[in-house]
Chains A and B, each alone.
Chain A
Amino acid sequence: MTGRSAMAQAAAQSVATETTYREAIREAIRDALKRDERVFLMGEDVGRYGGCYAVTKGLLAEFGPERIRDTPLSESGFTGAGIGAAMGGMRPIVEVMTVNFSLLALDQILNSAATIRHMSGNQFGVPLVIRMATGAGRQLAAQHSHSLEGWYAHIPGIKVLAPATIEDARGMLWTALEDPDPVLIFEHIMLYNMTGALSPGAGPVDIDKAAVRREGEDISLITYGGSLWKALEAATALAGEGIKAEVVDLRTLRPLDDATIMASVRKTHRAIIIDEGWRSGGLAAEICTRIEEQAFWDLDAPVGRVCSEEVPIPYPRHLEEAAIPQVPKIVAAAKAALKRA
């Protein structure tokens, strides 16, 4: 794999441990709480319940109720409080249980967090991290299955991350906490149980670059978050038919790493974007347009998109599967771009 941080490359030489995406995030939170007394975490059920997705299990016992703070069901209130506490010198991590509930906090995220630095003429910044679970796949139906990263990536003044690997789950949080501006971290629900190796020395990673996870010459599969692993599986399937797909993990959705995207497209001349948000007006459309603006003359085919269908995510398994991006659709889109049957 290319695109790993130098630190992780060196660390990879030492003994790696088997861990999960969930545990990697937990370790990142523990590490931050130990390193910096300004850091604390608040959200619904993060303490006594151990976290809706068990990410913060055990942290209340270790760090106490001031630093692992259970909140009432007040998304706007506690997200705004996180913003105020950040303005007041702390480094809070606000956990919004899922992106589905974040809409209640949207006013604070957009009209406070994203805009205070600008409105105040740079006098006040908001060094806040907001973590949210996102995505579909567990038959949780329409109100619990959104992927709204694209909406948030629309907003100047915040940064939007989508860690798709265990290394990024472990390493993005610290870098985000050091950022003087608000950073949103989206954790796909289907990744929490993912297992993988993590070197014991794994630490902070950059939050402004995309990463090429698999090299190829024939077509670029550009994606993020939970869809990364579907894209990689599609690349393996395509390789079986002699098509060498390059897989680009965006890692950061705002800012987008145009340089890495365009380098890939200039190499392969074709691109498919895989984005679990709905197709219309989604992040994939933004990336398509950037490719058209910056690499039009390098393209041999129109840029394709594999996104969620125009429907609220349904409950029954077969309909949910049909609604969101899947490996066969990615393979079909790639072959269509290559004019292969």
Chain B
Amino acid sequence: MAAVDKPRLSRAHVLDLLKHMIRIRRFEDKCAELYTREKIRGFLHLYDGEEAVAVGVIPVLEDRDRIVATYREHGHALVRGVSMKAALAEMYGKREGCSGGRGGSMHLFDRITNFYGGNAIVGGGLPLAVGLALADQMRGEDNVTACFFGEGAVAEGEFHESVNLAALWSLPVLFVCENNRYAMGTALAISESETDIQQKAACYRMDSEAVDGMDVVAVEAAARRAVTAIRETGKPYFLECRTYRLRAHSMFDAQLYRDKAEVEAWRAKEPILRFRTWLEKNNMLHPEDLARIEAEVAAEIEAAVAFAEAAQWEPVEELTRFVYAENTA
């Protein structure tokens, strides 16, 4: 079934897009709160400001397609359909978590939704995505593997190796570069000789596009073009989404490397505010819609917190499980 290659902006669809983004934003807010209350530990990387990328791309994919993401992957997991309860329980470290509690925030995996993690090594997921696509190609299966990574990953050797392999072997990978301008605290301009990320795809003779990552409709349109192209040609596609990370890199980051004024300027153009404003202006969003969305999201989050709180710790006796396959029967 070929992807429809243009977004259809029915009221139902736009409200769906808005709800997805709000759902991610409120979930991340709750994660930040739970982190300060020490319910979530370790590293926590939140997606505020970038929601339009996951929400624009992922619903364009089919269930049979595959997703590889990074340690900033809560939004991707949620919009893909990983249960919010399972995701939050995972961040609590409980056994009902989507990775059995073993992974935490950076390692959300979900077999049922073809969600291949969650990866704490910058660039580490790209070769995996190449391999997943290779398996599909060798078996003649019409699947797309969407691989999300930040612009920081573009400096890693693994990026170049992976993009080269995908182009050389004509593999059905959708490389989605979320260019949020900072790799942790390092601005793009001081780490890349060529800061136009999309240009790099051309060096590998890969079709590409750069899109305003703060505009969910533009992202969806670009994703539809990309996925259609991949399914038709079997060749990979590179989508640079230009976006901005409104929060710190992680909960430990003092943000010494950027001005507060810069952040506030971007906050004024952030994707939820922007989409809401546009919808209201075009009479597609009414106050009762927004109230309903916020209420539904709040209820879902409250239920997820209750679930995670009540969920169980794995017994310590089970520590050395899941290192190797366990024999069944």
Contacts and interface: CB of A to CB of B under 8 A. Distances in A.
Interface of A: 40, 66, 71-72, 74, 76-90, 92, 107-108, 111-112, 116-125, 156-157, 159, 179-181
Interface in B144-165: 157-158, 161-162, 164-165
A108 B123 CA distance: 10
Interface string B114-140: 001110110010111111111110110
Contacts of A118: 102, 322-323
A85 B124 contact: no
B12 to A, nearest CB: 33
Contact of A84 (B110, B121, B131, B322): B131
A156 B127 contact: no
A77 B127 contact: yes
Given A72-B161, A74-B161, A76-B161, A121 B130 contact: no
B158 A77 contact: yes
A302 to B, nearest CB: 31
Given A80-B158, A108-B124, A181-B325, A119 B134 contact: no
B131 A124 contact: no
B312 to A, nearest CB: 14
Contacts, number: 145
A82 B133 CA distance: 11
A111 B164 CA distance: 22
A81 B131 contact: yes
B75 interface: no
Listed from nearest, the 6 A-B pairs whose CB atoms lie closest are A84-B131, A80-B127, A121-B100, A77-B161, A88-B135, A120-B109
A81 B138 CA distance: 13
Given A117-B325, A119-B118, A81 B100 contact: no
A13 B212 CA distance: 73
A111 to B, nearest CB: 5
12 contacts: A72-B168, A74-B164, A76-B157, A80-B131, A81-B127, A81-B134, A84-B134, A89-B139, A107-B121, A120-B99, A121-B100, A121-B322
Most chain B CB within 10 A, of A71, A76, A107, is at A76
Contacts of B213: none
A92 B103 CA distance: 26
A43 to B, nearest CB: 13
Given A72-B164, A74-B161, A157-B323, A122 B131 contact: no
Contacts of B158: 76-77, 80, 107
Contact of B135 (A79, A90, A112): A90
The range of chain B's interface size is 35 or more
Given A117-B323, A118-B323, A121-B99, A85 B118 contact: no
A85 B135 contact: yes
B228 to A, nearest CB: 22
Contacts of B118: 119-120
B165 A83 contact: no
Given A122-B100, A123-B99, A123-B110, A88 B165 contact: no
Nearest to A78: B165
A119 B99 contact: yes
Interface in B32-86: 66
B111 interface: yes
A104 B169 CA distance: 21
Most chain B CB within 10 A, of A79, A83, A84, is at A84
B322 A111 contact: no
A79 B136 CA distance: 17
B98 interface: yes
B130 A80 contact: yes
Most chain B CB within 10 A, of A80, A85, A112, is at A80
Contacts of A123: 99, 109-111
Nearest to B127: A80
Contacts of B136: 88
Nearest to A123: B111
Interface in B249-288: none
Given A72-B161, A78-B165, A157 B127 contact: no
A121 B101 contact: yes
B19 interface: no
A90 B135 CA distance: 6
Contact of A122 (B134, B161, B168, B322): B322
A88 to B, nearest CB: 3
Contacts of B66: 88
Contact of A66 (B102, B107, B138, B322): B138
A125 B139 CA distance: 19
Interface string B292-329: 00000000000000000000000000000111111000
A65 to B, nearest CB: 10
